[in-house]
């Protein structure tokens, strides 16, 4: 088994021609300034989105607080109508 693997490797190495030179051309360097401009634009867009989302969330929180206050007032009014606000209820005359 070891001999057949060695022989196969020897055949593969022998089949590669040393006269064939493969020229590797370096890739063109990336345009750093273009990348920076893209990042700057992306950052500006993200900041604008963040400001918009923050304003929307603040409006939603204010709406929820107002809704909670309305419910509390309605609950208190319903208890007052039933005269159950007294922590020590007295018998009705």
Q: Look at residue 52 and tell me if it is in a domain.
A: yes
Q: Which of 65, 67, 85, 88 is nearest to 76 (CA)?
A: 85
Q: Look at residue 68 and tell me if it is in a domain.
A: yes
Q: Look at residue 11 and tell me if it is in a domain.
A: no
Q: Look at residue 74 and tell me if it is in a domain.
A: yes
| H-only helix segments in the chain | 2-15, 32-82
Q: Look at residue 66 and tell me if it is in a domain.
A: yes
Q: Look at residue 12 and tell me if it is in a domain.
A: no
Burial profile 41-69: b = 16 or more Cβ within 10 angstroms, e = fewer: eeeeeeeeeeeeeeeeeeeeeeeeeeeee
Report the number of distinct structural domains present in the chain: 1
CB within 8 Å of 85: residues ≥ 6 apart = 76, 79
Residues in the chain: 93
pTM of the model: 0.46
Q: pLDDT tens digits, the chain, 93 residues: what are they?
A: 566 666 676 666 666 555 555 666 666 677 889 999 999 999 999 999 999 999 999 999 999 999 988 887 777 777 666 665 566 666 665
Q: Look at residue 60 and tell me if it is in a domain.
A: yes
């Amino acid at each position: 088994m070891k001999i057949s693997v060695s022989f196969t490797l020897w055949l593969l190495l022998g089949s590669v021609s040393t006269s064939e030179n493969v020229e590797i051309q370096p890739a063109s360097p990336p345009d750093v300034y273009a990348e920076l401009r893209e990042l700057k634009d992306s950052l500006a867009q993200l900041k604008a989105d963040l400001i918009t989302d923050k304003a929307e969330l603040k409006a939603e929180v204010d709406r929820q607080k107002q809704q909670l206050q309305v419910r509390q007032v309605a609950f208190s009014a319903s208890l007052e109508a039933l005269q159950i606000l007294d922590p020590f209820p007295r018998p009705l005359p």
